[in-house]
Structure 1
Amino acid sequence: MVKVSGGQAVVKVMEKEKVKKAFCLPGESYLGVIDALYEHPSIQLISTRHEGGASFMAEAYAKASGEVGVCMATRGPGAANLAIGLHTAMQDSTPLVALIGQVERPFKGKEAFQEVEFTSFFSHLCKWTVEIESAERIPELLHRAFYMARSGRPGPVVVSLPHDMLEDTFEYMEQHVQHERAPLPSEESVVEALLKIKGAKRPIIIAGGGVTRTKSADLLVRFAQTMSVPVATSFRRFDAFPNSHSHYAGWLGFGTRKGLLDYIKQSDLVVALGTRLSQVTTGDYTLLGEQTKLVQVDISPDSIGKVYSPELGITADVKQFLRKALKLVAPVKDEEKELIVKELNEAYVAFSTAPKDYSEQYVDMDGMMYDIMRAFPKDAILTSDAGNFFGWLSRYYRFDCENTYIGPTSGAMGYGLPAAIGVKIAQPDKMVVSFSGDGGFMMTIQELETAVRFGIPVIAVVVNNNMYGTIRAHQEKQFPGRVIATGLSNANFAELARLFGCHGEQVTKNEDFLPALERARASGRPAVIEVLTNPDILSANQPKLDHSNGKTFH
């Protein structure tokens, strides 16, 4: 045993948990932890320009690396700023540990400087919140925090660290890292599920985060082919199934093809694999018809039956379920089911193939997606935040490799750029591109400096229509002719990027996009490509005017 400070003990636990990167905005209330990281041989501390950027980076790093993300902030305002990334981690089931400095123990309850009672503040945002009152309990409680973050349905955990506690010293006793075995399904439950799928006339699988987290897409491909079942992916889980595969029926969420929604509503069996069947995935909880039976497989019993009551609920790791199912299943040869799979896939391909529509006045998003589909390597990793630009990305991009899309199911704006930085740190050999609208990009644009300072060559595509486009679309639909609060004005993002030390370009017509992309990649620096789009086109499904004959077309 050695005598250490509370701050040093925190870092010892981080090292034992194999933490390699931590993201922070430095603060005086946890300087004891920061000091203990000084010249640490294996943990890199990445300081950001805003706590929201730090938590977004840590959350995306966790998704891209498969490890527990770590972020740190000071008390009060710092913790509040950090919350957006914690909420994202909760809704996305991302393992994350947030270390937050706290007021000195004798000052608590006196409305001390920046005082917030964290255990209640974060109680509904996180899986668990704990304040460590005694330095001697750091090894016990911090190891438990990491275990809580990654076990069961993963999620964020907040650990509150009083300033004075971090300066206390004690004799450190090393503890073991806590592990759990993924829950296995019973053979009986798997057999029952297989019989239900085999007996269904119009089945479909909905694949969610349980598939992406366990990297089970290859097993799901084999299962879908063996059972002759189409597969749809839940909201922002595109890479749970290869989009170019013959059994892919499309994605669920905003802008989903109506024919796919109709098929699911008329389906006699839905198999939900690792999805909590969120509000967006289910279209305000209207997705399943009255006659539809549900088989739900999820690692957390709390998710089963939370939205729809399943005929069969199986608490199990999705990968373990698929492995056991593939051992027990006999190939299903059913011409009617094969025809359904074929028709759904052909309809998806027709709906989701970008036309080569170019424009001279603005960048036509259809044409840009046509170019992107041919220019991006298959293993490129895309990040995005919320905005109407996302409709084109979700409709036209084909995600054929696992772990190639990282975005917030919470719909958080400002996520794209810091997430790309976190992803690139985790996957330095991959091309990493963020997509944002002008509204979302301005929320975390300051993280360009972080990318420059640490030499992280991400590419940020900013789709600029000078408005909060998603809200404008809702506004036009619900309150036509009464536009207020959604118009914006922007500086030249390409020039701003260059001032930060990035490569920056502004693109005003389609033919200039690919050359700008190539120059951005060749620069070896963080890069921003600002794309000016038509402010009158607010949706990928919106009819456009054919100027040659004055007609509109979809």
Structure 2
Amino acid sequence: MNAEAKVTEAAATMTGGAALVNGLIDHGIGTLFALPGVQIDPLFAALYDRSDEIRVVTSRHEQGAAYMAFGAARSTGKASAYAVVPGPGWLNASGALATAYGCNAPVVCLAGQIPSRSLGRGIGELHEVPDQLALARGLTKWAARADHPADAPRLLATAFCEARSGRPRPVHLEMATDVMAQEVPVGAAPVLTPWTPPVDPKAIERAVALASKAERPMILVGGGAQSASVEVTRLAERLHAPAVALRSGRGVVDESSWLAQGWLAGHALWADADLVIAIGTRLDFPFRHWGKDDRLAVIRIDVDPTEVARQFVPDVAIVADAAAAVSAILAELPAGLPRASRESKLRALKARSEADLDAQMGPQMAILRDLRAALPDDGFFVDELTQIGYASWSWFPTYGPRQYISSGYQGTLGYGFPTALGVKAANPDRAVLSISGDGGIMFAIQELASAVKYGLNTINIVFADNKFGNVQRIQRERYGGRVLGSDLHNPRFAELARDFGAIGVKCDDVARLGDLVAAHRDADRPVLIEVPVGDFPTPWSAIRRPPVRGQ
């Protein structure tokens, strides 16, 4: 870790809470998502004193604060932060922390702690849980406790550096409430420069050799390629290699291009490819479901050295930042590679795949087309664990990096709405559309109060079928119709939204949904559109495709 010079040299007397706030500001945090409570009162007092430099967005549940931070980090690629009380408060936010871990989001959790004199004694202090720090270490990349205010600058600098170094992931820093209140001289700490592994020239040489002779290369991109959109697009153009993504890699290559192919097309391309260049992706779905044989060469680019050979040993492993690695490959690729254009074939494949999706899940596709047309090209789409959300994994054209937000493999039901609020807080001048089912929205419906209070004017669609649709389908199809616990009793969502002070609209004709979204894009308040729906065709046949090669 390298250090950049910091402005203040001399120590100044301040509380531990003030030391944390100073560190947040030094690291560019302009918004802190939080829920106040007694163990972090000194932090809030310090935030009040610096309110002209850092905004506090409070949630109505700790999971809301953490998901907002997740949304801000996912949509920008920059570190974001939230603060909660210890014990049950921290645990309430832990689902979002796990989601940030699974999605490689640089989220910084600031947690309070019980009084330092009581740590580890089990005497029943308010919000005491056994070894919160150990729990945090299981859900984050790095976790520590600041035992003195003077430790805060150094530990917070380390936290931000760890969150952004190599594979980005969440981190945790806690401080006991009495330490937060203690007032002592506190010095400054340097802002640390995140570290990434250097590019190995020999690995680049082997990758270039494979890429130069491949006749039917394809590219698979994941969340780790989101900061390499320009470079990956140039590589796809040079190699005439279609780029395929599911969820986290959406938008790395502009999906209006014939080079960007959907998941069904990717399945077809995998069967005939002679080279796959996997960039910032776990490669889990293709490897486990589509199969692999010796005729398929694989180049894996990932910043995490433990990831490149987790599933299998690739022909070439490049442990490096995606943009740096792809730039190095582009620099060494011979000019004028003898490549016949694949444009006409790939355009036809793209059209055929979309037609196949229409045949498999026509109702979802019609809704998604209307939503895509209503959302600006640079708008954000936040999915959910709902039938329309699952369908969007296979088809929702995304025209730029970080514009499609998902919970990745964690599949965290209820994450979508509060995450969308964080996306909007970090991108106030861009449209944000979130979709939820009537099951998922109820996990965080109370955050409508926060959305109204802070002017987080997202458009939120609730598809209401009065059940956990996917759960009930499985109960009917796999367990002989033994339906239990999956039927739902719902409020009147549009009326409830109006009670919160938001705009609430009920859409009884799904064909009007796109027009309603377009009409409310510039609303001065958050919007919730309730859409009663029935059963949808299964989306899973479009996602879990059968093997096409190997075992």
TM over 0.5: yes
Distance 1:202 1:217, change over 3 A: same
Q: Which deviates the most, 73-82 or 124-133?
A: 124-133
Residue 247 of structure 1: how far off its partner (Å): 1.5
- Which residue identity does 1:78 align to in structure 2? G
Amino acid at match of 1:208: G
CA distance in 1, matches of 2:148, 2:510: 61
Alignment of 1:173-184 (within 5 A): 173-180=187-194, 182-184=196-198
Q: 522-531 or 496-505, which moves further after superposition?
A: 522-531
**Any idea what the Cα deviations from partners look like across 1:348-385, whole Å, max 9, x if unmatched?**
3333369999xxxxx94333223223222111111122
AA matched with 2:128: E
**Equivalent in the alignment of 1:172:** 186
CA gap of 1:282–1:476, structure 2 versus 1, over 3 A, is farther
Aligned to 1:546: none
How has the CA–CA distance of structure 1 residues 25 and 287 changed in structure 2, closer, same or farther, with 3 Å as cutoff? farther
**Structure 2 equivalent of residue 155 of structure 1:** 169
Cross-structure match for 1:250: 262
Asked whether the 8 Å contact 1:354–1:369 carries over to 2, the reply is: no
SS state at 1:471 partner:
helix
SS of the residue 1:22 aligns to: strand
Q: Residues of 1 paired with 2:141 and 2:167: CA distance?
A: 9
SS at match of 1:499: helix
Q: What SS does the corresponding residue of 1:45 show, helix, strand or coil?
A: strand
8 Å contact from structure 1 (residues 265, 289) kept in 2: no
Contact persistence 2:267–2:290 (CA under 8 A): no
Match of 2:121 in 1: 110
CA distance in 1, matches of 2:357, 2:195: 47
Partner of 1:508: 508
State the shift of 1:241 in Å. 1.6
Residue 92 of structure 2: SS of its match in structure 1?
helix
- Could you tell me which residue of structure 1 aligns to residue 96 of structure 2? 85
Of 332, 338, 342 in structure 2, the residue corresponding to residue 333 of structure 1 is 338
Closer, same or farther in 2 for the Cα pair 1:160/1:500, shift >3 Å? same
Deviation string, structure 1 residues 426-461 (Cα, Å, up to 9, x no partner): 111111111111111111111111000111111001
| Match in the other structure for 2:217 | 203
AA in 2 matched with 1:100: A
Q: Shift of residue 68 of structure 1?
A: 0.9
Residue in 1 aligned with 2:319? 315
Q: 2 CA distance for matches of 1:467 and 1:480?
A: 18
Q: Which moved more, 1:451-460 or 1:486-495?
A: 486-495
Cα distance in 2 between the residues matched to 1:511 and 1:478: 32
Provide Cα deviations, 1:81-140, integer angstroms capped at 9, x if missing partner: 110111111111110110111111111223232222122112221101111222221111
- Mapping 1:385-534, distance limit 5 Å: 385-409=384-408, 410-534=410-534
Q: 1:309 & 1:129 partners in 2: Cα distance?
A: 31
The CA deviation at 1:522 is 4.4
TM-aligned CA distance change 1:206 to 1:515, over 3 Å? closer
- The structure whose RCO (Cα within 8 Å, separation 6+) is larger is 2
TM-superposed CA distance for 1:161, in Å, is 0.9
Aligned residue number for residue 353 of structure 2: 351
Structure 2 contact 34–59 (Cα < 8 Å) conserved: yes
1:550 maps to what in 2? Answer: none
* Aligned counterpart for 1:260 among listed residues 254, 263, 266: 266
* Counterpart secondary structure, 1:55: helix
Kindly provide the CA deviation profile for residues 240-295 of structure 1, in whole angstroms up to 9, marking residues without a partner as x.
221121122213xxxxx2x63254255332211111224xx337465433543321
CA contact (8 A) 1:469 1:538 kept: no
SS of the residue 2:244 aligns to = strand
Partner of 2:48: 38
Note if 1:222 corresponds to 2:234: yes
Could you tell me how far 1:497 is from its partner in structure 2? Answer: 0.7
- Structure 1 window deviating more from structure 2 (46-55 vs 119-128): it is 119-128
Between structures 1 and 2, the one with greater helix share: 2
Letter in 2 for 1:375: A
Name the aligned partner's letter for residue 315 of structure 1: V
Aligned partner letter, 2:111? I
Deviations 1:477-534 (A, max 9, x none): 3223222222212122111111111111111213332342244334321000111222
Tell me, yes or no, if the aligned pair for 1:208 and 1:233 is still in contact at 8 Å.
Answer: yes
Distance 2:120 2:414 in 1: 34
Q: How does 1:235-314 map to 2 (within 5 A)?
A: 235-251=247-263, 257=264, 260-278=266-284, 281-282=285-286, 284=288, 287-314=291-318
2: CA distance between counterparts of 1:354 and 1:378? Answer: 25
Deviation sequence 1:144-168 (CA, Å, 0-9, x none) = 1111111110111111211111122
How much has 1:39 moved relative to structure 2?
4.1
| Cα distance between partner residues in 1 of 2:530 and 2:276 | 41
Q: Which runs of structure 2 are paired with 1:28-107 in the superposition (5 Å)?
A: 28-40=38-50, 41-107=52-118
Residue equivalent to 2:545: none
- On the 8 A contact 2:363/2:536 being kept in 1, the answer is no
Unmatched 5+ residue regions in structure 2? 1-10, 543-551
- Tell me whether 169-178 or 179-188 shows the greater mean CA deviation: 179-188
Of 15, 34, 42, which aligns to 2:25? 15
Distance apart, 1:536 and its partner CA? 5.3
Partner of 2:5: none
Is the alpha carbon distance of 1:95 and 1:536 closer, same or farther for their aligned partners in structure 2, counting shifts above 3 Å? closer
Which residue number corresponds to residue 14 of structure 2? 4
Equivalenced residue count is 524
In the alignment, residue 292 of structure 1 is paired with which amino acid? L
Q: Secondary structure at the match of 1:171?
A: strand
Q: Is the 8 A contact 1:247 1:342 kept in 2?
A: no
Distance in 2, Cα, partners of 1:129 & 1:274: 25
Counterpart of 2:197 in 1: which secondary structure?
Answer: coil
Counterpart Cα distance in 1 of 2:112 and 2:48: 18
Letter matched to residue 385 of structure 1: E
The 5 A counterparts of 1:531-546 are 531-535=531-535, 537-539=537-539
Residues 203 and 519 of structure 1: CA distance in aligned 2, closer, same or farther (over 3 Å):
closer
Structure 1 residues without counterparts, runs of 5 or longer: 252-256, 358-362, 543-554
Between the aligned partners of 1:522 and 1:22, the Cα distance in structure 2 is: 25
Contact 1:364 1:534 in 2 (8 A): no
The CA distance in 1 between the partners of 2:358 and 2:483, in whole Å, is 32
**Would the aligned equivalents of 1:268 and 1:292 in 2 still touch at CA under 8 Å?**
yes
The Cα of 1:315 is off from its aligned counterpart by 1.0
How far did 1:65 drift? 2.9
